Amino acid sequence: MKINMTSVFVSDQHKALRFYTEVLGFVKKHEVPVGEYLWLTVVSPEDPEGPELLLEPDAHPAVNPFRSALVKDGIPVTQFAVADVHAEFRRLRDLGVRFTQEPMDAGPVTVAVLDDTCGNLIQIATTPE
């Protein structure tokens, strides 16, 4: 068994696509109209056949209370691996990304938390190899 797809709920799919591709550097894989929304996925350019991230509309009534509680408590909805958290923090900060947690060592891993502009906190992490 392996992870094929996971999702993040987003407040605006088009805004999310711009942020996840133009800022974070993912690549659009699928954009299929499904009613009023899209089946919209992105992948890492380093692994285009790897796991997909579905930018899922936050239309379900349970999403916003749950997501708001996570954000209020500073809990990221997911984590992305980066080669160097400090370098990625500087790159993203220079692009105007807002961080809720600057890089910090947490045992063997270095982490930082950013706001994806679509309602979520995302953690980036570097782990020892």
Strand partners, 105: 110
Contacts of 57 (CB under 8 A, 6+ apart): 9, 10, 13, 37
pLDDT value of position 129: 73
Q: What average pLDDT score do residues 89-118 get? A: 97
Q: Which domains are assigned to the chain? A: 5-126 (3.10.180.10)
Q: Minimal CA–CA distance to 108: which of 87, 122, 88, 129?
A: 129
The structure tokens listed for 45 are 């350019």
pLDDT tens-digit series, residues 21-60: 999 999 999 999 999 999 999 999 999 999 999 999 999 9
Element (H, E) at 60: none
Strand partners, 56: 9
What's this model's pTM, rounded to 2 decimal places?
0.95
Average pLDDT, the chain: 97
DSSP 65: H
